[in-house]
Structure 1
Amino acid sequence: MNDKPSIRVEGALQNALIIDDHPLFCDALSMTLKAGLGIERVQTAGALEEALSVLDGGLEPDVILLDLNLPDVNGLDGLVRLIKLCPRTPVVIVSSMAEPRVVRSAIRVGAAGFVPKHSPRDVFRKAFAHIANGEIYAPEGAFSESDANMPLSSGEEALIRLSHLTKQQARILQLICEGQMNKQIAYELSIAETTVKAHVTAIMRKLGVQSRTQAVLIAQEANFNSLLPDT
């Protein structure tokens, strides 16, 4: 997607992080990754915040596998937060929510692939072969001709727009949502007011809006504050 760093894929995928709150599925998926795909080290997290904590602590997986149904996150919110924190690490959705609309939305937001839960090992092998080559993987039929013309929901569209923002721009938008003006934001972030103005202009361009109020409405549509860790 435009304005995003390219996904980093250097050689074989050797280290993986699974984010799923079902221990038995995590164990089964870990076995699939190790025995069937040659992944050497697999770490698991049962919630998004747990995963963000270990990533903040220095964990650098070659690939992240994310379930969309987690106790502390809804839908694609977790994907957006992971992309913000690890913009060059491929994130693969592994979920039972495999309707074409969900798959398409996840890919458009920035997922490197989508594998329905309980897919056979060959499907995971095929998906990881695509991802290791820097390609995007989606299940067959996910982008049928009839589905391609189906509009996204307003919340999904808002998430896609917000996914274009850099980490600094996302923080500035959060402060705008709190009602702060440019001078206050500059003081809060210890940057020049002219820098804030440049970021605000870029934010409105990426969101396709003409005013701060419209930007706030898009952020509210996507429940934007829930996407950002407390600072």
Structure 2
Amino acid sequence: MNQKKKTSPAKATKILLVDDHPMMREGLRQIIGNEIDLAVCGEAENAFQALELVKSEKPDLVLADITLPDKNGLELLKDLQAQHPKLPVLVISMHDEALYAERVLRAGGRGYIMKHEGGKKIMQAIRHVLSGQIFVSEKMSARILELFSGHGTQAASSPIENLTDREFEVFRLIGEGLSTKEIAANMHVSAKTVEVHRMNIKTKLGLKTAAELIRYTVRWVESQSTSGL
């Protein structure tokens, strides 16, 4: 029986891994290493390293997490779009796609898959994006197609969709029980900046007090973790 030969590194499709967890990067490296025509060209644990490696390694695809230690993955996506508009990015995240999939696509990402999916599904997503298509789960596809076809309603279906990406991140972290100081540390901004975001969130959601905001965010986060779309 003839064995398939691994494509030479010079000809293989190059993939850059961006995740702050070494074990996750190692797992992805092994999955990709089993493919004869793909190769990992570099690994970054934060957004700064990712941008530097994209310049030096010129990958064909970036696999990136949403949660990074120096910058939100959505902001990294926007930076990559501005600097390398033709570079496809597939987001692999622990966060439920109901929270982030649409925002990822709006930021220029080409797909979203959750980390708990098996290697076969992850490779399917990689192949899908490399072929020029957008990858999301089956349950997200109808909603995404409606959104990008222009047949959806012009008004946001929820006031939460009116939040900017930064405001949305603060909103989510409040719902997870983090204090202003903890959110500031998590997002690498000042506590004053977080307070400004909190005020904007309350205004956009029609909430008057901090207690109302906390109740709203907690209920929303819980509903997203226990239900589908």
Range of TM-score over shorter length: 0.5 to 0.7
Q: Tell me, in whole angstroms, the C-alpha distance in 1 between the residues paired with 2:12 and 2:112.
A: 17
Gaps of 5+ in 1: 1-11, 160-220, 222-231
| Match in the other structure for 1:141 | 139
Per the alignment, in what secondary structure is the counterpart of residue 83 of structure 1? helix
Per the alignment, in what secondary structure is the counterpart of residue 50 of structure 2? helix
CA contact (8 A) 1:21 1:70 kept: yes
Deviations 1:169-207 (A, max 9, x none): xxxxxxxxxxxxxxxxxxxxxxxxxxxxxxxxxxxxxxx
Could you list the structure 1 runs, at least 4 aligned residues long, displaced by more than 4 angstroms after superposition: none
Letter in 1 for 2:26: D
CA contact (8 A) 1:37 1:125 kept: no
Letter in 1 for 2:23: L
- State how 1:16-31 maps to structure 2 within 5 Å: 16-31=15-30
Q: Establish whether residue 153 from structure 1 lines up as the match of residue 162 from structure 2.
A: yes
How far residue 120 of structure 1 moved from its aligned partner, in angstroms, is 0.8
- Relative distance call for 1:112 and 1:37 in structure 2 (3 A) is farther
Per the alignment, in what secondary structure is the counterpart of residue 113 of structure 2? strand
| Match in the other structure for 1:104 | 102
- State how 1:62-81 maps to structure 2 within 5 Å: 62-81=60-79
- State how 1:175-194 maps to structure 2 within 5 Å: none
Q: Tell me, in whole angstroms, the C-alpha distance in 2 between the residues paired with 1:37 and 1:127.
A: 17
Letter in 1 for 2:61: V
Q: Tell me, in whole angstroms, the C-alpha distance in 2 between the residues paired with 1:143 and 1:20.
A: 25
How far residue 37 of structure 1 moved from its aligned partner, in angstroms, is 7.0
| Match in the other structure for 1:45 | 44
Count residues in correspondence: 148
| Match in the other structure for 2:188 | none
CA contact (8 A) 1:113 1:127 kept: yes
| Match in the other structure for 2:58 | 60
- Relative distance call for 1:144 and 1:13 in structure 2 (3 A) is farther
- Relative distance call for 1:55 and 1:42 in structure 2 (3 A) is closer
Q: Tell me, in whole angstroms, the C-alpha distance in 2 between the residues paired with 1:37 and 1:104.
A: 32
Q: Tell me, in whole angstroms, the C-alpha distance in 2 between the residues paired with 1:20 and 1:75.
A: 10
Q: Tell me, in whole angstroms, the C-alpha distance in 1 between the residues paired with 2:166 and 2:70.
A: 22
CA RMSD of aligned residues (A): 2.9
CA contact (8 A) 1:92 1:112 kept: yes
**TM-score, normalised by the number of residues in structure 2:** 0.57
CA contact (8 A) 1:104 1:143 kept: no
Q: Which has the higher contact order (CA 8 A, sep 6+)?
A: 1
Gaps of 5+ in 2: 1-10, 148-155, 169-199, 201-229
Q: Tell me, in whole angstroms, the C-alpha distance in 1 between the residues paired with 2:83 and 2:92.
A: 19
Q: Tell me, in whole angstroms, the C-alpha distance in 1 between the residues paired with 2:166 and 2:72.
A: 15
Corresponding residue to 1:130 among 124, 128, 131: 128
- Relative distance call for 1:29 and 1:37 in structure 2 (3 A) is farther
Among the aligned pairs, what percent are the same residue?
24
Per the alignment, in what secondary structure is the counterpart of residue 53 of structure 1? helix
Q: Tell me, in whole angstroms, the C-alpha distance in 2 between the residues paired with 1:27 and 1:116.
A: 16
Per the alignment, in what secondary structure is the counterpart of residue 140 of structure 2? coil
- Relative distance call for 1:150 and 1:41 in structure 2 (3 A) is same
Per the alignment, in what secondary structure is the counterpart of residue 24 of structure 2? helix
